[in-house]
């Protein structure tokens, strides 16, 4: 199987796997049990991981809150801000192209907290429109939610510009940087965001562990969305996953140290893939056009060929039609629909996302199989 679905998840880095295994076997304590040596040993592992994440991303260690992943982080951030706001100030401004985890957290706030939701459509290239976001702000808004890199298209949002309009109105910005860490320098984006979230398994770290980044002034404004024993700066109850956070700390360090090499590797592979597909199929449409895009992601429309049919006819290639979280949903991608694609056109798009383990030979073989599958589907459709 040729794996070109790294935006869904990445394989665990061997060095990270060794550390997770070592901590699992040798550090059995609870990080909160600091009254004795076994608990202290676990606490030291977690604090080392916190220091690694903070140092790699240029944030304060005190701003790092462990989570189970970006979905939980988005829920904690959005619900935390809205839940602590008075009833007349519970409006959420959110980009229409957000991950379903963010959109569903906003919907949770609407149903349980009486929040209003203002969904801001993107430009046709998928980038959030800064002017539209600015126009949606008023005294009732308690949070703006906008991701940095779109998980389906790879398009990069102008977070620093969005932050300027939010801060001019004293509205906190929640930013999902899950598809950014290890692919882009996110330090300026983290400074521009009041809350940022990501998951370790998107950059060769463990599954089931992530980070919410927010300084103490923001955290004090947030209602705890997950009650518990006061863990996670009071925002997130539950015992810390010591092996997981240890692995995440190392994975973050490695991802940032390999950033330039990763970008160059992935960009060359996708250039190769696109050239091979165009050579076989003729003009292929890039979703997002010329918008700035992260180096590892390419979403392509194969006109006249249903994407699910193409994938069924190329079983040796692992790609996707959108977010892994929505892979069982038969409906077209909400991201592509928001960008102006009709249902039929949105159903002709396939996301390719490569990573460090991907090789040029993988790309050549994938292009041959996908190209053959597109030709076959088009012939069957035209018959």
Annotated catalytic residues are 325
Helix (H, G, I), strand (E, B) or coil at 317: strand
Residues 383 and 375: their CA atoms lie apart, in Å, by: 12
Q: Report yes or no: 54 and 61 within 8 Å, Cβ to Cβ.
A: yes
Structure tokens at 252: 């973050």
| Burial class of 80 by CB neighbour count within 10 A (0 to 12, 13 to 18, 19+) | buried
Residues 72 and 241: their CA atoms lie apart, in Å, by: 14
Q: Report yes or no: 285 and 298 within 8 Å, Cβ to Cβ.
A: no
Residues 223 and 226: their CA atoms lie apart, in Å, by: 9
Looking at beta carbons, which pairs linking 17-21 to residues 24 or more positions away fall under 8 Å?
Answer: 17/247, 19/246, 19/247, 19/250, 20/206, 20/243, 20/244, 20/246, 20/247, 21/243
Helix 70-83 and helix 100-113, axial crossing angle in degrees, nearest 10? 30
Compute the radius of gyration of the chain from its Cα atoms. Answer: 21
Residues 85 and 13: their CA atoms lie apart, in Å, by: 41
Residues 110 and 91: their CA atoms lie apart, in Å, by: 9
> Measured in Å, how far apart are the chain's first and last C-alpha atoms?
30
Residues 366 and 169: their CA atoms lie apart, in Å, by: 48
Buried b (16+ CB within 10 A) or exposed e, 259-283: beebbebbeebbebbbebbeeebee
Least Cα distance to 197 among 178, 182, 184 occurs for 178
């Amino acid at each position: 199987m040729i794996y070109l679905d790294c935006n869904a998840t990445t394989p665990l880095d061997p060095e990270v796997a060794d550390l997770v295994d070592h901590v699992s076997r040798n550090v059995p304590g609870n990080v909160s049990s600091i009254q004795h040596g076994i608990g202290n040993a676990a606490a030291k592992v977690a604090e080392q991981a916190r220091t690694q994440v903070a140092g790699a991303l240029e944030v304060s260690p005190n701003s790092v809150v462990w989570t189970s992943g970006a979905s939980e982080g988005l829920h904690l951030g959005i619900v935390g801000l809205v839940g602590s706001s008075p009833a007349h100030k519970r409006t959420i401004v959110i980009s229409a192209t957000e991950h379903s985890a963010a959109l569903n957290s906003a919907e949770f706030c609407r149903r349980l907290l009486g929040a209003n939701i203002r969904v801001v459509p993107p430009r046709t290239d998928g980038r959030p429109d800064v002017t539209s976001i600015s126009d949606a702000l008023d005294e009732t808004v308690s949070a703006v939610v906008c991701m940095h890199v779109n998980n389906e298209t790879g398009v990069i949002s102008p977070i620093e510009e969005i932050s300027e309009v939010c801060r001019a109105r004293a509205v906190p910005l929640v930013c999902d940087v899950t598809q950014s860490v290890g692919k882009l320098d996110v330090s300026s984006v983290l400074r521009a965001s009041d809350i940022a979230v990501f998951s370790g398994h998107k950059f060769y770290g463990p599954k089931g562990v992530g980070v919410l980044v927010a300084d103490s002034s923001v955290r004090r404004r947030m209602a705890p969305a997950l009650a518990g024993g006061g863990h996670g700066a009071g925002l997130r109850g539950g015992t810390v996953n010591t092996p997981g956070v240890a692995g995440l700390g190392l994975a973050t360090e490695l991802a940032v140290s390999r950033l330039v090499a990763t970008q160059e590797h992935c960009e060359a592979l996708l250039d190769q893939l696109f050239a091979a597909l165009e050579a076989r199929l003729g003009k292929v449409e890039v979703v997002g056009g010329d918008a700035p895009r992260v180096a590892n992601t390419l979403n392509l429309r194969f006109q006249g060929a249903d994407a699910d049919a193409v994938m069924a006819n190329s079983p040796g290639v692992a790609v996707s039609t959108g977010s892994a979280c929505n892979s069982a949903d038969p409906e077209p991608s909400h991201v592509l629909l928001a960008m102006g694609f009709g249902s039929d056109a949105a159903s002709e798009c396939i996301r390719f996302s490569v990573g460090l383990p991907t090789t040029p030979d993988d790309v050549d073989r994938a292009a041959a199989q996908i190209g053959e599958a597109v030709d076959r589907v088009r012939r069957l459709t035209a018959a």
